Chains A and B, each alone.
Chain A
C-alpha cells in the first residue's frame, strides 16, 4: 500500500540539469521558461507593432482589451491613475508571465517527453514556476522594486521612519522595528513559496491522482485540471495584486487617509 505514495511519475522537487553552459547548469525548467518568454515577447511585440488608434489587426485589438481589463483591476488598489501607470509595466509583465508559465504545466508534452541525461531519464520540459529558483527570483525583483520606490518617493529618512515609527527613546520602538524588518523578509519567503507550493503541489496531485485512478486516469484528472486552471489564474492575479498593495502601502506613508477627495500627487513627484 505504501507504493501508492511512492509514485515515480511526478517531478522531483529540484529541476534537473540538462546540460552545462560553462559553469552554470541549464535545467529543464529554465529551458521551458525561455520558451515561454519567447512566446510572450513575440506575442506582445507583434501586437505592439500592429497597434494603431483604431487597430485593424485582431491580435492587437484583443491584446489591448486584455491590457485594459488588467489595468482596470489594478487601478482600484492604486487609486491614483498616474501612479498606476508608472508601475503598470512591471505588474502586467508579472501577471502575464506567471499566468502563462503556470498554465504551461498542463500542456501535453510537458513532463512527459523525456531525454536521457547521464543514464537517467529526465523530462525535457517542466513548468518554470515549479522551480523555486524562479519564484524566488520574481519575489526578489518585486520586493526590490517596492523598496526602491519606497526610498525614492519618501526618502531614506522617511523609509527608516516607516519601520521605527514612534518615540526613539522608547526601547519598544526598536523591538517593533526589528519585527517589521523580519516581516519584510518573511514577505520574500512567503511570496516565493506560495507560488511554488501551489503550482508544484498541483502537479504532484495530478500525478498522484493519475496513478491512483489506474485505468480511469483520463476521467479522474479532468476535475483536477479545472482546479489547476483556476488556481493558476488566482495565483498570478494574487502575485500582481500583492506587489501592487506593497507598493501602495510603502509609498503612501505620509499622505492622509482621505485620498480620492483631493489627490496631492503633484506634491509627491
Chain B
C-alpha cells in the first residue's frame, strides 16, 4: 500500500468514527427510557442528565468531524 488515496482515508475516518458516538447515544437513550419507565416523577432530572451525557458523547463525534474537515 504505497500510495493511499486521501479521500479513502477520509471516508474510513468518518465511517469508523461515527460508530462509537451513535452506539453511545443509543445506549443513553435506552437508559433514559428505562429510567423514566420506572420512575416517571423525576423525568425532568433524568432528561437533564441525559442531555449532559449526550453533549459529552457528541463532542467525540465533533472531534472526528474537525479532523475530517481540516486535513
Contacts and interface: CB of A to CB of B under 8 A. Distances in A.
A241 B52 contact: yes
A117 interface: no
A158 interface: no
Interface stretch (A34-42, A55-63, A199-207): A199-207
Contact of A2 (B7, B59, B63, B69): B7
B33 interface: no
Contacts of B7: 1-2, 4-5
Chain A interface residue bracket vs B: 20 to 34
A177 interface: no
A197 B56 contact: no
A200 B45 CA distance: 30
Interface string A208-246: 100000000000000000000001001101100110000
B64 to A, nearest CB: 8
A194 B6 CA distance: 26
A201 B63 CA distance: 8
Interface in A153-208: 190, 193-194, 197-198, 200-202, 204-205, 208
B62 interface: yes
A138 to B, nearest CB: 15
Nearest to B10: A5
B57 to A, nearest CB: 10
Nearest to A7: B69
A234 B49 CA distance: 11
Interface in B33-71: 45, 48, 51-52, 54-56, 58-59, 62-63, 65-66, 69-70
22 contacts: A2-B7, A73-B48, A193-B59, A194-B62, A198-B58, A198-B59, A198-B62, A201-B62, A201-B63, A201-B65, A201-B66, A202-B62, A204-B65, A205-B65, A208-B69, A234-B58, A235-B58, A235-B59, A237-B52, A237-B55, A238-B51, A241-B52
Interface of B: 6-7, 10, 45, 48, 51-52, 54-56, 58-59, 62-63, 65-66, 69-70
Interface of A: 1-2, 4-5, 10, 13, 73, 76, 190, 193-194, 197-198, 200-202, 204-205, 208, 231, 234-235, 237-238, 241-242
Given A234-B51, A238-B51, 13 more contacts: A2-B7, A4-B7, A5-B7, A73-B48, A76-B48, A193-B59, A197-B63, A197-B65, A198-B62, A201-B62, A201-B65, A202-B65, A234-B54
